[in-house]
Structure 1
Amino acid sequence: MKDPFCAVVTGQSLITHDIRHVQDERFAEVERFLQQGDVVFTNFESTILGQHGGWPTKGKYFGYSKAEVLDALQDIGFNALALSNNHAFDLGPCGIQSTLDEVETRGFLHAGIGIDETNAAKLGRRHLGYRHVSLLALDAGPGPANMYAENRTASRPARPGVNRLKTVRKIGVPDGHFRRLARLGDHLQSSHLEIANYAQPEDPPELASGKELNFYGTVFTQAADFSRLIEIDPQSANIQLSAIRHAATQGDFVIAYLHHHHWEPGWQDVPRWVQAFARTCIDAGANLFVSHGAPVLQAVEIYNGSPIFYGLGNFLFHVHPDESEWDPPEVWQSIVAACRYDANGILEAIDLLPVVIGEANGRHGSETGGLVPVPAGGHAARDILEGFASRSRAFGAGVEISGYSGRIVLPPARKFG
């Protein structure tokens, strides 16, 4: 007889401080909520400065952590980490290697980076609870090509890096504006070699002849109206989906994870391309889809009996206090979700704990500052849950709110395994 199974998922963990010293009963309540899970999952939004060293690969939005933060994550209950994100390569290949060493030493289920492309694309697999759990973790950019893992070829050595879901961003513009941009390029005497120079360290994207143009790194395409378009490379997607199918045929509980920064103008809105890809992952056999990137709480959908968390915002968010772009209160608010499955693998319910990092009034509101999340109460809890319910309603998911907690109202679900 199998036992029930619980998967707990949170916002991303940009953690640079060891939080094991925090003595706060409210944070302890969050820890207890985490520790009910057989699998407790977050995105480790950093890279480790360890024995392999490393050097900064970017400017203002650069960061790294010491290995002790992994001990802190483990101490509060996490046992599964996605590593594919825009900070994973902040120390270059050396940071990739140090991070791999440290998470493997601690026995985390992990995925999303590797010593080459094949290794980075490999699903992590661990026995957690009564199930084998497989994790696929991807990053869809935008990011420089040299942060992504590559295999060795006859003329190039292998490169450690991030598991990439290849995407291209295009800006749709009506015909008249498209022609004006083309004329402007002609007046500026733009050439193929100049465009290649500006594309460094990447290669210029391929264009549809006559219908697209590369204007100094931005691809414009003829369209009926103005639009932002993200196109997923089919071959790249198929490689990842095949890995999901293989894990599903083994009877594993499969988590698919996507990190991206292709945000909508309203950053709590779900991009259509993400919804399409998430559903494709579920169709391939994933039992749970989680995404981060936009630092805010988006929506949830229950698709074919499986949860799709389009954006869980932040759980730990240790950013520099001078970065005022993160001041909006929604950046410091999220939920922790406990997905409960019965002994037959049927999703029964999803319990929701609304949290705020620091306090409801922002990152500096409590004794522990913005170091840890605490349960939201009062108006903050209602605002988080009602906003989440409203956004999720558009995806057909119902959320029951009771006091300072919530529960997903489920349609008929399918089992895994």
Structure 2
Amino acid sequence: MEHSHENDCHPTRHGGGYDTVGSIATNVADGFTMVAVGDLIVSRPLTKGNHPGFDEIVQILRDADATFGNMETLIFDIRSFKGSPQAEYGGAYHISVPELGADLKALGFNLMSRANNHSLDWGVEGMRETSRVLDESGIIHAGVGENLAQSGAARFLETARGRVALVSLATTFMPMSRACDPAGEALGRPGVNALRLTRNITLPSDVLECVRRVRDVLPGYAAGGKDPNRVVLLGETFKAGDKPSFSYEADPRDVANIQRNVRRGKQFSDFCIITNHGHEPDWSELVSQEPADFEQSFARKMIDAGADAYIGHGPHLLRGIEIYKGRPILYSLGNFFFDDLRTPVGADMFNAYGKDPRIDTDAEVTVNEQAKGYPSVDGFVGALGTPVCYESVIAVSRFEHNQLAELRLYPIELGFSKRFANRGIPRLAVGLQAMDILKRMQNLSQPFGTEITIENEVGVIRLRP
């Protein structure tokens, strides 16, 4: 769409010359709206199907200038595909048919993040074919590329109210999927724009002593240890503390690279979105409702660098909302599509769930996975098979005078009680279910000082001018 509005940034006099680098201020025309949803796990086109209540959802998506979602599937035709399912995959082999690209565009999506733990489930070939389909469908996407510079770069959407930049990264990713740049004669590596984290595990002192004793009896480990409050075992660092917890330290090199890409993205746009896919600290129903300890400072740092919105996804559950310097930080928007009718399923996944592809079906593997959580997460039992995983919100942010004026939260439900072939498609939640979702958002956002009012089964955050 043609970009034209009265608030365009023009070069200004500065120190005897012209400052041609735009400020980090928001610079969109009045009425600019951004719709943000969480994870899109979808295997088929939906516009022509019979999905009660879905039309109301589509209208919300289409009414925005920028409509964002996290693309957590690969798009290609398995009958002509030249790649293969990878030995290292994101817990499930997500796949969709080529028609999905045009269908997502018809639904209203024009921005997609690509950096996540499923980006290379089907290898570099699957990543590239998905990029091709999205390009042909006119959907701007970021987060993967032929090297780190490409995967980390901002990608741009032209709208009638301003130019939008998107930077996509993942803190949860498969190690072999991480992109890198060339070095000397060594070529760059295709893959994901990753933010590496160092995890520390805090344990009560008596439990830490048990870990120390295990370490001391293992071959290759020196007995004893100089620090009574720290034990390193099998690549994990354990520390003494009041209660069990996970803490994370972000790699400063990755942070600096991402920060630069945000700054560059804003310099070439009027509105910059940064989005992160992360499971940390885990995705259990009880623990994962709070962001990991590193994320608030990281999100704020990105907004200080020029981002106008921070969008989180990955734990498959809702998290709270913070308004920082007048800009929204959405820590997790849960699931938007959970239509996981994937086929085919790789042989490794059959093995992971003790299934036999000569006897069991793809659907039986998928149902088993959703009930127990991904086995690749250290045997952890997740929230994939619980009703709360099928409840979420659509976040609609509206800007006036280059300020966030209002953020509306439309509660949605994805049909947990329906049969497997029909669940996972959103519709607006109503009645007690809508109120439960919105009250959950109130409670999750309260620690950030965010006040959400409920009006006609819609959550509303209003900012003072």
Aligned counterpart for 1:131 among listed residues 156, 159, 162: 162
Match of 2:414 in 1: 357
CA distance in 1, matches of 2:396, 2:303: 19
Determine if the alignment matches structure 1 residue 294 to structure 2 residue 351: no
Q: Is the 8 A contact 1:257 1:291 kept in 2?
A: yes
Match of 2:54 in 1: 27
CA distance in 2, matches of 1:17, 1:104: 18
Match of 2:304 in 1: 283
CA distance in 1, matches of 2:58, 2:443: 27
Match of 1:145 in 2: 175
Following superposition, the deviation at residue 38 of structure 1 comes to: 0.3
One-letter code of the match for 1:312?
L
Match of 1:158 in 2: 188
Q: Give a deviation string over 1:298-319, Cα, whole Å, max 9, x none.
A: 1111111001110100000123
Aligned counterpart for 1:321 among listed residues 367, 374, 377: 367
In the alignment, structure 1 segments of 5+ residues that lack a partner are 193-207, 413-417
What SS does structure 1 have at the residue aligned with 2:201? Answer: strand
Following superposition, the deviation at residue 61 of structure 1 comes to: 2.1
Determine if the alignment matches structure 1 residue 104 to structure 2 residue 157: no
Q: Give a deviation string over 1:257-280, Cα, whole Å, max 9, x none.
A: 010111355222222211111111
Greater radius of gyration (CA): 2
Following superposition, the deviation at residue 251 of structure 1 comes to: 4.7
CA distance in 2, matches of 1:214, 1:161: 30
Give aligned-pair identity as a percent: 27
Following superposition, the deviation at residue 124 of structure 1 comes to: 0.8
1:8-407 matches, cutoff 5 A: 8-24=35-51, 26-49=53-76, 52-58=82-88, 61-141=92-172, 143-154=173-184, 156-173=186-203, 177-190=207-220, 212-223=230-241, 226-264=244-282, 265-319=286-340, 320-322=366-368, 323-325=370-372, 326-342=384-400, 344-358=401-415, 362-364=416-418, 369-407=422-460
Q: Give a deviation string over 1:205-260, Cα, whole Å, max 9, x none.
A: xxx99975442232223556543111101111011011112222345200010101
The 1:160–1:191 alpha-carbon spacing in structure 2 relative to 1, beyond 3 Å, is farther
CA distance in 2, matches of 1:407, 1:176: 47
With 123-132 and 161-170 compared, the bigger mean Cα shift is at: 123-132
CA distance in 2, matches of 1:95, 1:254: 28
CA distance in 1, matches of 2:417, 2:184: 51
CA distance in 2, matches of 1:85, 1:93: 14
Following superposition, the deviation at residue 286 of structure 1 comes to: 0.6
Q: Give a deviation string over 1:104-146, Cα, whole Å, max 9, x none.
A: 22221211001111111111112123211100100002x4321
Following superposition, the deviation at residue 8 of structure 1 comes to: 0.5
The 1:211–1:114 alpha-carbon spacing in structure 2 relative to 1, beyond 3 Å, is farther
CA distance in 2, matches of 1:21, 1:71: 12
Following superposition, the deviation at residue 341 of structure 1 comes to: 0.9
CA distance in 1, matches of 2:412, 2:209: 49
One-letter code of the match for 2:449?
G
- Equivalent pairs counted in the alignment come to 391
The 1:401–1:287 alpha-carbon spacing in structure 2 relative to 1, beyond 3 Å, is same
Following superposition, the deviation at residue 402 of structure 1 comes to: 1.6
One-letter code of the match for 2:118?
H
Q: Is the 8 A contact 2:171 2:277 kept in 1?
A: yes
Following superposition, the deviation at residue 393 of structure 1 comes to: 1.9
One-letter code of the match for 2:34?
A
Following superposition, the deviation at residue 191 of structure 1 comes to: 5.4
Q: Is the 8 A contact 1:96 1:160 kept in 2?
A: no
What SS does structure 1 have at the residue aligned with 2:448? Answer: coil
One-letter code of the match for 2:322?
E
Match of 1:195 in 2: none
RMSD: 2.4
One-letter code of the match for 2:335?
N
Q: Is the 8 A contact 1:57 1:89 kept in 2?
A: no
CA distance in 2, matches of 1:249, 1:136: 13
The 1:210–1:114 alpha-carbon spacing in structure 2 relative to 1, beyond 3 Å, is farther
CA distance in 2, matches of 1:289, 1:43: 13
Q: Give a deviation string over 1:328-385, Cα, whole Å, max 9, x none.
A: 111011111111112x322111122111012xxx15169x721410111111111111
TM-score, normalised to structure 2's length?
0.78
CA distance in 2, matches of 1:33, 1:365: 26
What SS does structure 2 have at the residue aligned with 1:239? Answer: helix
CA distance in 2, matches of 1:296, 1:7: 21
